[in-house]
Every structure is written in structure tokens, then in C-alpha cells.
């Protein structure tokens, strides 16, 4: 069988189980495609050389009649800031260019337990700081729909590889929109769970009170299947929460019963978008209304301060989380023998990229003596306010809608010289991180061949509702019938 | 003029919770001391990217016990924070602690007090907090090249900060001994272990700038360091030299304090709440029982066993002895005599440990059974006191039971109370010590000299009471 | 207003070496960013002390004090070792 790379999760798992093709065949085709296509995109940093052997082991298990996991045989790409034992984890940074973790992140363990195969590590903005993957020390990743355009970030490799069908699904991390933004730019589905639903053990921290590991797939159904496996309380992460009553396992959502679903349209966010974007949003909303949903305009007053709050908190936490990179225990080759320690640390850390350095410095500033109250403390208060306002909105609405990103994907290099302009891309996505609520981006159209994404948010722990409704909306729009020809 | 300058001293005590099994945020061994270099590590305590701290429940319970023992207020919620600074012994280049410079007081205890000393002086406790120990830096062969061992990184510490209520280094010493006793009785820290209990001090005179004294090895050194520092500051004041707010290290060789190196530069620690550790709801605190505290135990010794204040204090100050006492009286209920034996004789054999406290070492083979037997043998008049003393010194080395020793060495241990034998010894001494005998006839107190001679002659076996009676009788007889 | 001196202080605090060129560029960029963050001044709050940490855990839900035998080998992590110690730089 050829073109196995176009299959979704269910098709791969069943196809292998039913003997239509082997796991080894599937993985071989994927690897061959990656070799052929990825030189155009640069979405992978490292390929797992062991993948074929792991595929053979799955085939062996199946032949011998042993049970295999619910994801057996699928290939998952993993953002390179999630620890994989024995496989280099660089965070796209010179500071970790030679780091091989001795342990697996919890999410990786859970995927492996279900017999998924980790195909490789995916490109990102260095330490997940960025919105276009242009800040990677391994070079940028290109948008599969138009190679001159950015693919979004920071999980650019995760989105591009899924859109280019180089893996069945992928994992990313989302601190301020880093799963949803590239998903929107690459016309795939990207999901960020409620804070505390997925273990961060093994995720290299950028901003620990805001980030979550999420998944990217070509359909909502695929994303659901990944989330189902990786979610759940973990004793290795004290911030994970017991969610026995909130498991994401999908029961098929009955269309007949959705008459009472009310959708809030966040006007500040929709009106703040470029014209082609909000046009597309409105056509999508029309289609939803045809399906029986009620939608009306709603307002989130505190959204004006969200971005300032986000960048204050995120940079502050980053400045502390990245302090451990002093090159003494892990990093790159630089013998400390003749260096005085302050000099050694400062010299080694000079190897961070520009964006990372800027954020560390801003972060140190907002925490520093005399500024802590004005910035960090205030930002936390705004965060609380946004959470409360959204909670109140969710009393009235089942879901809230907005464009994922206010702009169309733009040309490579267009915003790289203006950090603040770059930050404004996150203006819609940071809300969900600040409030700790689940959010998804689904593709809803194109303009001039460039993808547009719709963001849907639900109240915390309403994953089930969000994903089920998103699946219905996805079907009602029915956008992705083809993928970029690479 | 300088003597009128008020001295203010405050203390910062760091107590390792050595009695835990694991570290504060991971499940590696708490007891790192005997372990091979860098063998007691995991992703968490060595600060690998992606690792997360997992708080130890028992550490929190120990900290609560300490807070209760020091009469502190315990909050409803306790929160951790990050202290950000760079140093090669700090795996994450921040320390997880509980101090929040912004004043939200969520450390595990605050506003307590401790009574100490003979006059029940009071030292107020400002706050108590949990935090993690860094790794250890060792220097290579006289070069200043750092070699780092992470075995200790992440071990649980409780920091106890006092108000500047002390003005005499001697009081500081007494207070620290009291703290040691409390921590020992709580069974949260084995203070005999090296580095388990450390103390830094802040000192200012005449409301001048505060000087921090660090790097003091033992509690006796703290007294020395503070005494030196007071003199230094007073001298400077007299000469109108400004005292700088700085950190100074105690140089034990030269017995002075000297300016510290750049680590202690005025640092901006950029404290903020630790995002990886949730708020901890401290509920059902009444279920956390504190073991008997030294003051309570002392009270019980005085009231229930009628021991003197002095003897009780000595026992309490050295928990090993108090424990020895209580197990010995279970075997032979004679609190007064057993306590005296312990305080007057056993104490002499104990050695000083690294914190300057006396302790029963592993080499001392004496236990409660030995002491109970000794006390009973003397009370029954089977052996006399001086024999008992010499047996004790033998027991400490060999661990033999007193009853066994007596069996083996009958001739040298049994008390001579046979009047005939005693009179023989008396007559012999009268012959040898004619002058003294004449003295004794005039001066009754001179009898002691003769008694001493008789004790020597009988190798300590003569019964002193009977011998004295016989001596007097004999002296009266001889006219 | 972020001055070059402030930037020098911050780079020292963060232990990051910056080139002269970087000082020039970053000063302007960071100033713009901080100015945007000043937006937070536009909003004010009444209560004094916010709850800054997300989740809540009961004392009883914390980790038991049970040892897990350490299996991590220092060779797996640090390259510069001497007699099992991790080699550090020179202390001043």
C-alpha cells in the first residue's frame, strides 16, 4: 500500500491490526517521506533512528497474538522541549545542543505504553519563546502551504509536520498560544488542555504557571485520541489535578441535542482581526448557526490587559526557569577549568539566542527590587481578573469564539526585527493560558492560499464538551479535503 | 562610653531535618553522609530540565512540630517561593524557600518565643520556614577550582530566625543549647551529625548598621565570634570609623571575623511564589503530636522524681543522658541515686561532638542496665562508692556487667565491713602515721586524712561509715 | 525609560554576556516592551494580597517519606568529571 502517510490514527491502528499493512511498512514510508519533504520545511531537528526497530517489535507482538495499545503503530512527532530518554532534547538552543535526557517525560511514557512510536523531535522557537519558529538555532521551519511564509510558533515543527503528513499526530507545548497559533497558520487542529490536566514532568519549563502540553492533528478526532492517552493526574507533577469525572474519552455527541448550546462571540478579539480573518470567522459562524447553535456577541473587557499580563508573568518565570543553564552539568562543550565562575556562567549563557536573552532580561526586570509590585504583582492580579471575567461569561455561554490569530500568516522575516509586533500575534491566545481554560484551534478557511483558524474556548475541565462540539463544527465547515503537495 | 552602646544580636539557625528518610522535594536519601560522590541524585535534585519538585509530607509535619514547640503561630495556608541567585552549588540557580520579601507571610510558623537560661530569659522567634540545602563545593588541592557534589542538594532544612533580642554572646550560647535540646527531643534532627545544625548571626551596636556573621563552625565559636565582633565594632565606634553593613566570615585559625568574598554581595533575589508547588492547606494540626519537650521533661523530673533543678538541667541539656536515666529507673527505681551517678560519673566520659555538645559515643559501652546495677549494688552496700567509680570506668571500655566484674574480682571489690579486719587496718595506720594520729586526737576533722589512708590500704574496699565509727572509738580509747 | 546602565545591571543579574552591539539594539527593543507592560498601570485593584499560586493541596495529599533508590549515574549528565565530582569553574 502506498500513501499510508495520509491515514488518520484510527486508520493506522486498525490497518496494522487487520494486517492491511505492517507497522514497519508504515514507518518506512514515513521516514522516506520525511527525507524527501522535510528539506523544504525543516520541521525536524532529530529523527529517532530506533523507530524502525520499534515498529518491527509491534509487528512481532501482533503476529504472536499479544495485546497492543490503543495507539499501536502510529508515529508521533514530539516538540523538542519535551524530554525523551536517549534522544537528544535541545529546545532548539545552543545551550542544550548536546543534551540527552536520562528520563522520559510522563506524556512520552504514556504514549509508549500505548505502543505509539516517537518518530523524532520537532523544531520550535528556542525554549518555546516565539510565535514563528524563526528563533530556532537550527533554522526556521517553513509553512507547508507556502514556503515563503512563516508556519507560526513556537510549536512550528509540530504543526508543519502534521500538515505535511510527516507524522500521524504531534505533541507541542502551549504557553501563550504556541500550539494553537502554528495550528492556525498550518491549517491543522491544535488543542491546549485545562491547566493541570496534563503532566508537565519532562517539559522544559518556560513559564510554569501558564504552560501545558497539547496535541496537534489533522482532525479533532485524532487530537482527542492523543489527549485521552496523555491526560490525567501524575505523582511526578504536583500541579496536576485529579479529573476522574472529566475524562476526555469521547462519547459521540448527538447533533439533535445541541439546540441549547449558546456560543459567545468575543467582539474585541473579532473586531481586532484583519479583514480577511474576520470575514472568514463570520462565514464559519453562519454555518454553525445553520447547524442549530445560537451565537451572539459578547464582551471581555479585561482582554485589553491580557497581553501585558502574559508577557510580565511569562518573562518573569522564564528568567528563573532558565537560570539553571550554566553549562556545568549539561549543555555544550566548554571546559570550565580556567574560568572564574561569574565569567564562565555569563560567557556560556551568552549563547542563548536574541529573543531568549531579551525575555530573560525583561523577566529579571519585572521581578527586581522596586518593580515587583508595579509589574509582576499587578500582572497576577490581572490574571485573576481575566479568570473571573471568563468564568462569568461561561455562566451564560457554553463556548466562546474568536479568531486564533488576528492576522494571516505573513512572510518570513517580516516581523523579526520588532519584538513587540511579534508579541501582538498572541493577543487572542494568551487568554486561555492566563485563565487556565481549555482552547482549540480548528481550520476554517484560506485567503490567498494562506490558512485561517478559529479559536474555541470552554470553561476549565470542560474538555469533553469542547472537543465534542469542536468535532461537530469541524464537520459543519468541512475544510480540509487536501493537504499541501510537497 | 562604649559600654553604654546597646548590642543587638539576632540569629538565623539552619536545622537539617536529618530524621527524614528522603529529601525535601524528591525521594533520594536524606542521609547523604557516607555516600559515594554524586551517587545520591535524581533528575529533581540535580535540576535537570523538565524536573519538578514534589513536596515531602513528613518534612512539613516536622516543621509544624518545630513551630508548635517554639510557640509560633501556624498559618492556614503555607506557600513556597523562589530565591534567585547564581552559585555553582545550586543546581537550579535558585533555592526553593518560603521567604517572600513582599510581606505575605506564608512560612510555616511566625511570632513565637523560647524561654532559656536560669532566669527564664525570652527570645522571640520571627519566623520558621522550610527550604532546601544546596550541594557541596570542595576545592581541588589548594587551587580554587570548584568540585561539586550534589548528594546533599535538596536535603530539607528548617530555618529559624529570631528577633534581635540578644545582647550577650553568652546568652546566645545558652539559647543555642536550649534549641539543640528542643530539636533533639522533637526527634527531627540528630544534632550529633556534622553540619546538621548551623547558625549565622546578625549584630549591631548602638543602633548602627547590621553586620552578618557567617561560616561559624560550632556554637562555642559563635560565642567567640560575637565577642570578637562586639569588640571590633566598639573600637571602630570609639575611633569614629563607620561600621559598614556587610557580611563577615569567622576565621577560626586567626580567631577573627573578616570581610566575606563576593558571594554575599548585596543581591537582588527577585523572590516570587514557586509555581510548581501548590498552596498547602494545613488542616488537622492537632493530629500532629509533639513529643515531650525539654522544659516539660525537666518539670517532670523535678516533680515526679524529686531531682534537683541542677541535675535535671544537666540531664535535659544532654538528651542521651535523660534517655539513659529514664530507662535505668525502669529497671531499678531509684531516681536520685541513678541521676547522680549519671551526672557525676557518666558525664565525665562523654565526648564533645562537632557542635560542642557532649554526647555518648558509640565507643562507650555503658547502658541503662549497667547503671541500674551499679546504683543497686551501692545502695545495698555490696560495694562502696569508690569501687563503683572504678568499675564504671572499666564498664565504659568493656561493657561488662557490674555483677560479672564483682564475681571475677571478688577480692578487689567486696566491701570490708568486718570489724576485726578494719581494726587491724586502723592499728596499722596508727603505727605508720603517728603524727597524724596525735593530730586527730585533738582535731576531729583530721580523721579524714586517716580515713583516706585506710581506704588506700584496703584498696578502697573499707566501708567508710563503719571505719569512721571505729576510728573515732579507737582514738578515744587511746589516751 | 530603560538606560544602557540599567541594561548592564540586568545582564549582570541574569549572568548573560552581551556584546556592545546587543546592548545598543536591546536597549531600544526592551524599552518598547517595558512601555507596553506599563499598560498594567491603567488598571487598579482594591484588595491587598492576591492569591498568587494556582492550585490547592491538602497536607494529607502530599508525598510519603519513602526512599526510591537513586539510579541516576552522574556520567549520564555531566561531561566534566574528576573522581566523580562535577568540575566547576574557579571560585573567586
Task: Give every CB contact of residue B210 below 8 A, 6+ residues apart in sequence.
Answer: B202, B203, B204, B245
Q: Which of residues 80-99 of B touch C (CB under 8 A)?
A: 86, 88
Chain C interface includes A243 (CB < 8 A): no
CA atoms in the 13 A half-sphere facing the CB of C38: 9
Task: Give every CB contact of residue A219 below 8 A, 6+ residues apart in sequence.
Answer: A8, A189, A474
Which of A98, A233, A369, A434 to mutate to probe the B interface, most B CBs <10 Å?
Answer: A369
What is the Cα–Cα distance from A193 to A439, expressed in whole angstroms? 7
What is the Cα–Cα distance from B201 to B162, expressed in whole angstroms? 10
- Measured between beta carbons, the chain A residues lying within 8 angstroms of C21 are none
What is the Cα–Cα distance from B66 to C59, expressed in whole angstroms? 16
pTM of the predicted structure, to 2 decimals: 0.90
Low-confidence winner among A98-112, A196-210, B357-371 (lowest mean pLDDT): B357-371
What is the Cα–Cα distance from A323 to A145, expressed in whole angstroms? 38
What is the Cα–Cα distance from C10 to C18, expressed in whole angstroms? 11
What is the Cα–Cα distance from A220 to A202, expressed in whole angstroms? 25
The answer to whether residue A320 is catalytic is no
Task: Give every CB contact of residue A200 below 8 A, 6+ residues apart in sequence.
Answer: A208, A211, A212, A213, A237, A239, A240, B50, B52
Region A253-275: mean pLDDT is 79
* Contact (CB<8Å) A320/B82: yes
Neighbours of chain B (3+ CB pairs under 8 A): A, C
Q: What is the pLDDT of residues A286-335, one digit of tens each?
A: 988 888 888 999 999 999 999 999 999 999 999 999 999 999 998 888 88
* Contact (CB<8Å) A340/C90: yes
CATH topology of domain A4-256+439-477: Amidase signature (AS) enzymes (3.90.1300)
- Measured between beta carbons, the chain C residues lying within 8 angstroms of A419 are 29, 32-33
Tell me which residue has cell 568486718.
B418
Which of C40, C47, C76, C84 to mutate to probe the A interface, most A CBs <10 Å?
Answer: C40
* Contact (CB<8Å) C57/B279: yes
Which of B25, B32, B38 to mutate to probe the C interface, most C CBs <10 Å?
Answer: B38
What is the Cα–Cα distance from A277 to A183, expressed in whole angstroms? 15
Given the residues A43, A137, A178, A207, select the one marked as catalytic: A178
Q: What is the pLDDT of residues A154-172, one digit of tens each?
A: 999 999 999 999 999 999 9
Nearest CB partner across the interface for C72, out of B43, B58, B270 = B43
Which of B55, B147, B285 to mutate to probe the C interface, most C CBs <10 Å?
Answer: B147
What is the Cα–Cα distance from B264 to B209, expressed in whole angstroms? 16
Predicted local confidence at residue A247, as pLDDT:
52
Predicted local confidence at residue A256, as pLDDT:
46
The answer to whether residue A154 is catalytic is yes
Q: Which of residues 53-82 of B touch C (CB under 8 A)?
A: 54-61, 77, 79
Q: How far is B145 from chain C (nearest CA, A)?
A: 4
Predicted local confidence at residue A43, as pLDDT:
98
Q: How far is C18 from chain A (nearest CA, A)?
A: 7
Cβ atoms B133, B153 nearer than 8 A: yes
What is the Cα–Cα distance from B301 to B306, expressed in whole angstroms? 6
CA atoms in the 13 A half-sphere facing the CB of A358: 26
* Contact (CB<8Å) B27/C67: yes
Region A188-203: mean pLDDT is 97
Neighbours of chain C (3+ CB pairs under 8 A): A, B
- CATH code: domain C1-38 is 1.10.20
Residue of C nearest to A197 (CA): C55
Chain C interface includes A437 (CB < 8 A): no
Q: Which CATH architecture has domain B419-477?
A: Orthogonal Bundle (1.10)
Q: Where are the domains of chain A?
A: 4-256+439-477
pLDDT per position in chain B (479 positions), as tens? Answer: 455 778 999 999 999 999 999 999 999 999 999 899 999 999 999 999 999 999 999 999 999 999 999 999 999 999 999 999 999 999 999 999 998 766 556 789 999 999 998 888 999 999 999 999 999 999 876 778 899 999 999 999 999 999 999 999 999 999 999 999 999 999 999 998 989 999 999 999 987 888 999 988 888 889 999 999 999 998 988 888 888 888 888 888 888 888 875 444 568 999 999 999 999 999 889 888 889 999 999 999 999 999 999 999 888 888 888 999 999 999 999 999 999 998 888 887 777 665 566 677 777 788 889 999 989 988 888 887 878 888 888 888 888 888 888 778 776 667 777 888 888 888 888 888 888 888 888 888 888 888 888 888 887 788 888 888 888 888 888 65
Predicted local confidence at residue A125, as pLDDT:
98
Q: How far is B89 from chain C (nearest CA, A)?
A: 9
Predicted local confidence at residue A408, as pLDDT:
97
Cβ atoms C30, C2 nearer than 8 A: yes
Please tell me which residue, C53 or B383, carries the higher pLDDT value: B383
Taking any CB pair shorter than 8 Å as contact, residues of chain C touching chain B are 13, 15, 49, 51-60, 62-68, 70-72, 74, 77, 82-92
Nearest CB partner across the interface for C89, out of A311, A323, A341 = A341
Checking ipTM against 0.90, whether it exceeds it is: yes
Give Cα B476 distance to the centre of its chain. Answer: 54
Q: Where are the domains of chain B?
A: 2-278, 294-413, 419-477
Q: Closest Cα to residue C64, out of B29, B32, B59?
A: B59
Low-confidence winner among A240-254, B95-109, C10-24 (lowest mean pLDDT): A240-254
What is the Cα–Cα distance from A115 to B99, expressed in whole angstroms? 45
Q: Which of residues 374-403 of A touch B (CB under 8 A)?
A: 376-377
What is the Cα–Cα distance from C25 to A93, expressed in whole angstroms? 21
* Contact (CB<8Å) C54/A195: yes
* Contact (CB<8Å) C57/B28: no
Task: Name the average pLDDT for chain A.
Answer: 93
| pLDDT of residue A254 exceeding 50 | no
Question: CA geometry: angle at B188 spanning B184 and B193, to 5°?
Answer: 70
CA atoms in the 13 A half-sphere facing the CB of C9: 12
Predicted local confidence at residue B413, as pLDDT:
65
- Measured between beta carbons, the chain B residues lying within 8 angstroms of C60 are 57, 283-284
Q: What is the pLDDT of residues A446-479, one digit of tens each?
A: 999 999 999 999 999 999 899 999 998 898 887 7
* Contact (CB<8Å) C59/B283: yes
Q: How far is A239 from chain C (nearest CA, A)?
A: 7
Q: Report in angstroms the alpha-carbon separations of B130 from A59, B58, B60, B155.
A: 52, 12, 8, 10
Cβ atoms A426, A159 nearer than 8 A: no
Predicted local confidence at residue A250, as pLDDT:
43
Cβ atoms B227, B235 nearer than 8 A: no
pLDDT-derived band of residue A255, with 50, 70 and 90 as boundaries? very low
Q: Closest Cα to residue A77, out of A41, A108, A114?
A: A108
* Contact (CB<8Å) B93/A326: yes
Q: Where are the domains of chain C?
A: 1-38
Give Cα A271 distance to the centre of its chain. Answer: 25
Given the residues A23, A43, A72, A79, select the one marked as catalytic: A79
| pLDDT of residue A429 exceeding 50 | yes
Q: According to the 3-state scheme, what is the secondary structure of A100-132?
A: CCCCCCHHHHHHHHCCCEEEEEECCCHHHCCCC
Amino acid at each position: 500500500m502506498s500513501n499510508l502517510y495520509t491515514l488518520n490514527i484510527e486508520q493506522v491502528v486498525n490497518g496494522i491490526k487487520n494486517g492491511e499493512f505492517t507497522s514497519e511498512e508504515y514507518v518506512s514510508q514515513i521516514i522516506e517521506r520525511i527525507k524527501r519533504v522535510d528539506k523544504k520545511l525543516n520541521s525536524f531537528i532529530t529523527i529517532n533512528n530506533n523507530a524502525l526497530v520499534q515498529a518491527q517489535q509491534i509487528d512481532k507482538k501482533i503476529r504472536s497474538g499479544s495485546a497492543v495499545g490503543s495507539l499501536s503503530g502510529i508515529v508521533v512527532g514530539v516538540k523538542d522541549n519535551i524530554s525523551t530518554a536517549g534522544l537528544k532534547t535541545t529546545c532548539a538552543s545552543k545551550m542544550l545542543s548536546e543534551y540527552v535526557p536520562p528520563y522520559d517525560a510522563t506524556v512520552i511514557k504514556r504514549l509508549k505504553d500505548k505502543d505509539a512510536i516517537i518518530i523524532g523531535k520537532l523544531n520550535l522557537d528556542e525554549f518555546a519563546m516565539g510565535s514563528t519558529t524563526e528563533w530556532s538555532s537550527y533554522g526556521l521551519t517553513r509553512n507547508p502551504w507556502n514556503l515563503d511564509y512563516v508556519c507560526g510558533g513556537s510549536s512550528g515543527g509540530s504543526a508543519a509536520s502534521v500538515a505535511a503528513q510527516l507524522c500521524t499526530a504531534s505533541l507541542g507545548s502551549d504557553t501563550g498560544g504556541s500550539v494553537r497559533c502554528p495550528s492556525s497558520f498550518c491549517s491543522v487542529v491544535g488543542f491546549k488542555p485545562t491547566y493541570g490536566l496534563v503532566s508537565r514532568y519532562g517539559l522544559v519549563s518556560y513559564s510554569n504557571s501558564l504552560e501545558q502540553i497539547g496535541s496537534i492533528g489533522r482532525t479533532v478526532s485524532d487530537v482527542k485520541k492523543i489527549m485521552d492517552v496523555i491526560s490525567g493526574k501524575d505523582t511526578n507533577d504536583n500541579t496536576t489535578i485529579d479529573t476522574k469525572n472529566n475524562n476526555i474519552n469521547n462519547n459521540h455527541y448527538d447533533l439533535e441535542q445541541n439546540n441549547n448550546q449558546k456560543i459567545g462571540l468575543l467582539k474585541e478579539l473579532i473586531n481586532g482581526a484583519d479583514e480577511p480573518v474576520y470575514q472568514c470567522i463570520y462565514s464559519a459562524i453562519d454555518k454553525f448557526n445553520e447547524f442549530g447553535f445560537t451565537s451572539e456577541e459578547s464582551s471581555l473587557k479585561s482582554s485589553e490587559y491580557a497581553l501585558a499580563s502574559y508577557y510580565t508573568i511569562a518573562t518573569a518565570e522564564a528568567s528563573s526557569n532558565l537560570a539553571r543553564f550554566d553549562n556545568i552539568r549539561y549543555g555544550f562543550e566548554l571546559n570550565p577549568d580556567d574560568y572564574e565562575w561569574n565569567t564562565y556562567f555569563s560567557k556560556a549563557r551568552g549563547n542563548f539566542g536574541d529573543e531568549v536573552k531579551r525575555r530573560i532580561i525583561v523577566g529579571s526586570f519585572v521581578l527586581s527590587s522596586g518593580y515587583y509590585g508595579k509589574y509582576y504583582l499587578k500582572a497576577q492580579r490581572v490574571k485573576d481578573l481575566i479568570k473571573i471575567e471568563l468564568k462569568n461569561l461561561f455562566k451564560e455561554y457554553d463556548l466562546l469564539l474568536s479568531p486564533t490569530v488576528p492576522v494571516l500568516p505573513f512572510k518570513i522575516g517580516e516581523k523579526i526585527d520588532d519584538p513587540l509586533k511579534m508579541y501582538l500575534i498572541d493577543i487572542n491566545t494568551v487568554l486561555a493560558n492566563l485563565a487556565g481554560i481549555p482552547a482549540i484551534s480548528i481550520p476554517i478557511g484560506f485567503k490567498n492560499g494562506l490558512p485561517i483558524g478559529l479559536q474555541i474556548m470552554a470553561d476549565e475541565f470542560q474538555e469533553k464538551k469542547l472537543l465534542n462540539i469542536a468535532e461537530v463544527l469541524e464537520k459543519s465547515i468541512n475544510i480540509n479535503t487536501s493537504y499541501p503537495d510537497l | 562610653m562604649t559600654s553604654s552602646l546597646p548590642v543587638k544580636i539576632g540569629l538565623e539557625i539552619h536545622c537539617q531535618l536529618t530524621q527524614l528518610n528522603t529529601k525535601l522535594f524528591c525521594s533520594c536519601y536524606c542521609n547523604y553522609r557516607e555516600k559515594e560522590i554524586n551517587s545520591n541524585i535524581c533528575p529533581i535534585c540535580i535540576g535537570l530540565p523538565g524536573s519538578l519538585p514534589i513536596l515531602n509530607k513528613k518534612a512539613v509535619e516536622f516543621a509544624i512540630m518545630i513551630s508548635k514547640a517554639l510557640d509560633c503561630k501556624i498559618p492556614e495556608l503555607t506557600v513556597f517561593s523562589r530565591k534567585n541567585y547564581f552559585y555553582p552549588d545550586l543546581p537550579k540557580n535558585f533555592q526553593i524557600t518560603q521567604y517572600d520579601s513582599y510581606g505575605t507571610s506564608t512560612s510555616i510558623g511566625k511570632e513565637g518565643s523560647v524561654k532559656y537560661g536560669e532566669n527564664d530569659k525570652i527570645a522571640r522567634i520571627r519566623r520558621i520556614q522550610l527550604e532546601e540545602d544546596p550541594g557541596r563545593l570542595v576545592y581541588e588541592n589548594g587551587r580554587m577550582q570548584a568540585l561539586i557534589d550534589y548528594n546533599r542538594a535538596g536535603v530539607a532544612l528548617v530555618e529559624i530566625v529570631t528577633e534581635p533580642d540578644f545582647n550577650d554572646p553568652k546568652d546566645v550560647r545558652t539559647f543555642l543549647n536550649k534549641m539543640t535540646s528542643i530539636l533533639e527531643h522533637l526527634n527531627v534532627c540528630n544534632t550529633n551529625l556534622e553540619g546538621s545544625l548551623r547558625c549565622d548571626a546578625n549584630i549591631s551596636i548602638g543602633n548602627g548598621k547590621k553586620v552578618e556573621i557567617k561560616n561559624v563552625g560550632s556554637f562555642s565559636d559563635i560565642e567567640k565570634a560575637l565577642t570578637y565582633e562586639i569588640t571590633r565594632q566598639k573600637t571602630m565606634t570609639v575611633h569614629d570609623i563607620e561600621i559598614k553593613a556587610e557580611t563577615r566570615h569567622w576565621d577560626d585559625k586567626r580567631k577573627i571575623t573578616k570581610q566575606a568574598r563576593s558571594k554575599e554581595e548585596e543581591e537582588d533575589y527577585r523572590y516570587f511564589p514557586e509555581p510548581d508547588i501548590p498552596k498547602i492547606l494545613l488542616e488537622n494540626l492537632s493530629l500532629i503530636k509533639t513529643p515531650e519537650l525539654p522544659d516539660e521533661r525537666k518539670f517532670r523530673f523535678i516533680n515526679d522524681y524529686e531531682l534537683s533543678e541542677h541535675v535535671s538541667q544537666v540531664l535535659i541539656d544532654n538528651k542521651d543522658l535523660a534517655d539513659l536515666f529514664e530507662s535505668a529507673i525502669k529497671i531499678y527505681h531509684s531516681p536520685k541515686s541513678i541521676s547522680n551517678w549519671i551526672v557525676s560519673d557518666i558525664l565525665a566520659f562523654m565526648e564533645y561532638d562537632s557542635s560542642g555538645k557532649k554526647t555518648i559515643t558509640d565507643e562507650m559501652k555503658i547502658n541503662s542496665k549497667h547503671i541500674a546495677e551499679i546504683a543497686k549494688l551501692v545502695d545495698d552496700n555490696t560495694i562502696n562508692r569508690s569501687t563503683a567509680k572504678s568499675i564504671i570506668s572499666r564498664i565504659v571500655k568493656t561493657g561488662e556487667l557490674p555483677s560479672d566484674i564483682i564475681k571475677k574480682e571478688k577480692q578487689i571489690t567486696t566491701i570490708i565491713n568486718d570489724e576485726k579486719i578494719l581494726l587491724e587496718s586502723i592499728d596499722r595506720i596508727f603505727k605508720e602515721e603517728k603524727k597524724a594520729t596525735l593530730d586527730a586526737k585533738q582535731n576531729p576533722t583530721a580523721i579524714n586524712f586517716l580515713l583516706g589512708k585506710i581506704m588506700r590500704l584496703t584498696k578502697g574496699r573499707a566501708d567508710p561509715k563503719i571505719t569512721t565509727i571505729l576510728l573515732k572509738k579507737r582514738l578515744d580509747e587511746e589516751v | 525609560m530603560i538606560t544602557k546602565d540599567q541594561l548592564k545591571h540586568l545582564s549582570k543579574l541574569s549572568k548573560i554576556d552581551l556584546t556592545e552591539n546587543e546592548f545598543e539594539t536591546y536597549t531600544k527593543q526592551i524599552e518598547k516592551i517595558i512601555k507596553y507592560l506599563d499598560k498594567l498601570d491603567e488598571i487598579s485593584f482594591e484588595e491587598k494580597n492576591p492569591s498568587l499560586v494556582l492550585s490547592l493541596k491538602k497536607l494529607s495529599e502530599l508525598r510519603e517519606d519513602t526512599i526510591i533508590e537513586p539510579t541516576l549515574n552522574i556520567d549520564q549528565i555531566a561531561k566534566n568529571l574528576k573522581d566523580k565530582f562535577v568540575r566547576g569553574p574557579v571560585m573567586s
